[in-house]
Structure 1
Amino acid sequence: MTIYLWIIVFLAQSSRAIPGLRFTKNPANLTVTQGNMVRLGCSIEGLSEPEIVWMKDGEKLYSTDQMYIPLEQHHWETFHSVKSVQQQDAGKYWCEVEFRGSTISSEPAWITVEGVPHFTLEPQDIATIPGVPFNLTCTAVGPPGPVEVLWWLGGVQEGDVTSSPSVLHVNGVNNSIKFYCEAKNARGISVSRTGTVHIKVLPAAPKGVQVVHMVEDNVTLDWSPGFTGHSDLSACTIQMSKNSGRKVEVRDQRVKVPPFQQILSGLSCYSNYSVRVCCDNEVGTSPFSGWLDFQTPEAVPSAAPRNLTFELTEQQLSLNWASLDDKELQGKLMAYKVQWNLGGEGQEALLFKENMAHLSGGGRFFNATFQVSACTVAGCGPWSQPVLVMPASAVAAQTQRGHMWVGLLLGLLVATMVGLLLTVLVHRRGKETQFGSVFKPPGTESTVSFTAARSFNRTCSELPESTLDSLGINDDLKAKLQDVLIPERLLTLGHILGKGEFGSVREAFLKMEDSTVQQKVAVKVLKTDINSSCDIEQCLKEAAYMKDFHHPNVIQLIGVSLHRRPQQRLPIPMVILPFMKHGDLHTFLLMSRLGDEPFTVSLQMLIQFMLDIARGMEYLSNKSIIHRDLAARNCMLSENLTVCVADFGLSKKIYSGDYYRQGSVSKLPVKWIALESLADNVYTTQSDVWAFGVTMWEIMARGQTPYPGVENSEIYEYLIKGERLKQPPDCQDDIYEIMHSCWSPVPKCRPSFQHLIDQLEGLWASLSSGPSFMKEALLYVNLESDEGEPGALGPGEDPLWSAMPWQCVGMEEDEKDWLMVSSGAALAIGGDYRYIIGPNCNCTEEEGGRQGTSMDTLQQEVRDEEYEDTIINV
């Protein structure tokens, strides 16, 4: 009872303290001249300490100097002032007060600002064809009104005064001319900006035509538009000629622009080309740019040497074979590589400069098989058919036996055909059934026939070919992958190249549908214990992204295949990718520092790695793709050491805006993630730039794990204090400045990938001011033997072969033209040799002591550090 009395007393006191709530004064309508002061006021009664908010056109007005004037108890007044009113201050104003969850508003008032007219639509520059009519538009408003408009064209008044908005019709001009409009009301005159009528003309020739990237049979051509002729360029024509005769042998290519870049594919290797470009606008075609000459790089020979013959005596074995023509060679001949097999065991391969070989001690080669291959700087071509070495008498006897076997086989074939013919005749004579024999009687009697109701097959039938419909994925994803689906029967899986969280990568051979040609590929196979449609769909989304990628520095999708499993509802998806001979960049860098045979990678090659990655990421960003997992481990090295950005398992397509917000539990590489991504789970192209800076650091540190000594759980606190990755040893200041700019805490302050490309190209060019990087002297590593030291360059010798040990201890006189396996040419050719290293490779005792490190153990330790299970909640 006491509580109820207390509540009643409190309510009574409250009702006496707060009378009825109402506005006693509302703001008044005002009309004021531009530049003068205005003041609006309102009063409210019924609150002890009111919070009065001024509103303009539905938006709150925030003021730091708003004052309240007490008129009496629970009665307050406030004002809103503008010292120098402008047109943007015109509008509808009122006051609001919130009380017990409700909003009480005053009556509205309008401020009208009078002044000289202001333009809401000013004349804009236009471009036109000579003599073609066009219109010019100008709009100005008061108050006060009305507003009148007068046009000036080429400094001369055009037409009479008209009301705003005003449209001036011009019958056409033949030369460029200036124009503007004047707006007048009772307060004065305003003059618009001055516009220009440009005359559309033919565009100028493109400029800066250059080859920005080149691999074997395709190049990337880049150019800048010249003067556009005041009209947008719609297309460009690329004209190309082969050799120096300027005769156009390659069909002209017509490309839409922008971008002003095109990949020219299907070119011949090690060939000279000339190219020039012209562009079109609405008026016509520009002149051609000057001819740009370039040479495509060398490739491995496309054919094997033919007509391999031998001559065997007791003293020596002589081999001869036909030379390849330039079209088949596809480069400058480095050597012929001869391999031989004796008793089922492969012997040491030999290299020769000429298309012949003389080997002493002929008896030791009896019953050996020989093959030969041509080699260029890019590698060795296919092997010739094997030839078995035997004395001439044995060859004649074998030929005679061969003729005997041919006769015997022909006799067996004739006998088989006669037997088949007799079988067919007996089969037509009568058919055995469950009820006896049924014969076809002569004459016109009806023929008795029957169809079996059921048939049986004792052999196990093959599993049916899987289709995308059996996966339970969405229709859009099925439509994207339909044209890249490859039947499983065309794949032959090999050994495992690597394993990950969701599956493995295996070496494989892909057979073409229309031929027996096989292509070596890499296949990403999902784990067999994953049976969820969601996991399968996530795997195939990565393939769908890659389907549309066409860039030399981004790995391309070959196709998708489905492995049907017995007793399982869902097949296993397999993503088919190009085979990357040198593996991932991270392992390559670790091998250079900690492998069994450490080697030096030149600074120019390291910068080329960075350039390749930046170009690939620029391409992805232009396609609105955020990678989210850029690191050296996810960059692959092709046969010619070109870097391709790969592994798009965490990639996202941006469909709106310019960022993606992570909203699920994921395993993320925290040491490569940008500061804002760690804090807010937001990923943008700028966060990929951050990861690119970390990848640059990995390259300069030769595969070292970022932030050594800092735990994954400590990374955010480490970065938020302003700490960053330290400058690696032997890293130039200008390179470190580039990577450090990628780690700005403000994403907008980080460089774009295009800017990074420009900076890295400048560094690469500065290092190229001396001898060309591709032509500098190279030292090669022999992983089998330490024998053979580089010899001095003798008079008249080819500098390319100057480091080759032409003479070795124990060689016969007629064997001195061999290229032994420790030579530089042998390393360029392949075989048992891994990496090319620079001429200053000095392995210290400390490095030598690390050669026994297990690379499998080392890589596992590094990869365990790179990822952290991060729970992300939105």
Structure 2
Amino acid sequence: MRLVFFVLLLAVNYREDCGLQFTKSPTNQTVTQGNSIRLGCAVEGLSEPDVVWMKDGEKLYSTDQMYITLEQNHWETFHSVKSVQQQDAGKYWCEAEFRGIAISSEPAWITVEGVPHFVLEPQDVATFPGVPFNLSCAAVGPPEPVEVLWWLRGVQEGKPTSSPSVLSVPGITSSIKFYCEAKNARGISVSRTGTVHIKVLPEAPKMIQVVQVQENNVTLAWTPGFTGYSDLQDCTIQMSKNSGKRLELPEHRVMVPPFQQVIGGLRCYSNYSVRICCSNEVGTSPFSSWVDFQTPEAVPSAAPRNLTFDLSEQQLSLNWAALEESELHGRLQAYKVQWNLGGENQEALLFKENKAHLSGGGRFFNATFQVSACTAVGCGPWSQPVLVMPAATVSSQGQRSHIWVGLLLGLLVAAMVGVLLTVLVHHRGKETQYGSAFEPSGAETRVSFTAARSFNRQGPALPESTLDTLGISDELRAKLQDVLIPEKMLTLGHMLGKGEFGSVREAFLKMEDNSVQKVAVKVLKTDITTSSDIEQCLKEAAYMKDFHHPNVIQLIGVSLHRRPQQRLPVPMVILPFMKHGDLHTFLLMSRLGDEPFVLSLHTLIQFMLDIARGMEYLGRKNIIHRDLAARNCMLNGNMTVCVADFGLSKKIYSGDYYRQGSVSKLPVKWIALESLADNVYTTQSDVWAFGVTMWEVMARGQTPYPGVENAEIYEHLIKGERLKQPPDCPADIYEIMHSCWSPVPKCRPSFQQLIDQLESAWAGLSPGPDQEPLLYVNLEGDGDEKGAGQAAGSLNPEEPQWSVPWQCVGMEKDEKDWLMVTSGATLAISGDYRYIIGPSSTAEEEGNPAGISGENIQEDVKEEDDDVVIDV
């Protein structure tokens, strides 16, 4: 205790000696949601200003932090928030450091008053008919108290109750919609709309796939059908063997998920059929359709029996019994006859039938013969050796004494043992020097190599790296543990691409069955050595681990490259190899490559549909991509586009938006207007980026906004300018992409609506009736109660008419007014549109939102090819 006091006393004396002290600390403030705040600190004793603002123990990064000189070595700094939201509430203070000594100002608390904030929103419910159930809803202020009012089927249910609120609902017989309202002195918030579903039987599984077939087992995978609003408990797999007539096999009952199972005990080179049904707590679904497959051939399991010979001076005839079909395990290719004379193996002979005739019988005297059956995979075991002797010799020897017979047999056994030892020594010598020999050749030659000894001329081998050596969080380590792949299983090839944080290389991954898979490996830069950079790279892999969609790139695994004399290994993210690379380069090559090629409108719209489906899936996974562009979409060998590169992605755990809280490099030409202004990212801002990506596809890889500098993008957009219609782009496609660029986020279409519109456009390419004008839908309304908005009207890019194209049902008056001016964008993009300001809120309380100007974007712009990024 005395030692601690002494250290604190020394620190205080040192600060007094160096003169470093805070002369002003931030003060406690209570502010209404949507208003601005300003906190101030002043520090004395620093020759240069270096003050860090802290919030709840975390550093705050700001691009517009300013310092005011009070006097020599005396500085004042401020932290401002233009539009305060609930997440801005907390504890704030300043920190300064001089000569290794850090001091802190007195802390201050910011309390945010506004309409209630939901901490528990109603969730979808599944129940049996007539069974009572409860619904829960909770919201908090300040100000308190908060009351909750329930709405069922669009009708008010009961009277307001204090938050948190639990509503008991008697049994129902059909699906209903419900939501809750939370009210305090500042106004009313409306929760999400939930649905009560009635549990029913599941539907039959679909997309049954035979993932892998081996000699005696098969790996099956399937996609469950509609689950009937109840989790599936198990699935039943029925199999039958087709050998002239269908033979039913024992059923396999497996727990799910995962929807994959390995079935063993099969016979090779046999025909099978499989079908599956699944069960929930209501009952069992119908069976799926039968799916047929065949197990591959194998090496025969038995040697030919009853090998006999007939020797004459002219020829040697051999005969043996043919193998049974159950022993053959495939189609017979040939019988292999091996013979040995004088302790040396002679050249093997192949015969189609179970007999052989060899001319010149005398040369086979005292030779031993063996026979083996061969399929396309290889040859089976050898038969017992048979010694060839003339019949006359056998008769005369039979009359001699048993001593000579025993002597001859002893010599024969000794010769065979000598031959066997010679073969083994020769085989061991080869293995020691080169590895094991090759297996018998077949339809597909397989090479097996086992090194008897390995050498490293550069020193001892580095130990295998594990996730425990990285210093990452326990949660991230647990997520990646089951996808960690040893480095020795990878062979890196040439580089496919290079970016700010690392490179992508071609590689070959050795699988468990010794096969080799071509993959792409994302390698972090070797000069990045901090755990935080490594953790950021591995977070992208953690996102991808849970992705299972044909239009979203899937994670194969994570590996760690150990470096000599380095504390931390380099993480490597292993991804599927995409034959055609990124979509942007592919589009450029179609126009500017050495051999240009034509991409039909069908193909271009299919690219857009693939991206939209992938983004809709990510939205359902609560993932905001934040960097959607053609360069971050990959094209596989089947010409299917997969959304990739999740380096800037964020998972939303609550609410429906993410606020960027630090300085990041972002591609401004793809960023939505509200994201440029307030660093707020939502699924609607991803829709904006999707519209730009559509423009890239139709323009065959051209750079968006040609001739417009990156620092001028914000002013360009705020004036109402948008990307011009590309040549050869149909008007209906341009209308779809133009609707993505509404300055009001809720007036942009959802990804599901974009999928529907693009599918309609794709189908409309074939001759058919004229299409109806595109209507805009109120995105905030219930999914089943869509309100059609006004028609798109003129979308002439030369004459932007903001008051027409981007209006939608449910817009507030101030939002429509905002469309007619060139500033004040905060009115359209701040807060959550479910909020309704109550009559008790005055204009003075709410404050005037600050105007947005191009000063929010730093003038220091770094040019980087097509995907130029700036600090936001």
Q: Considering only CA atoms, is the larger Rg found in Structure 1 or Structure 2?
A: 1
Q: Which has the higher contact order (CA 8 A, sep 6+)?
A: 2
Q: Output the TM-score relative to the length of structure 2.
A: 0.47
**TM-score in terms of structure 1 length:** 0.47
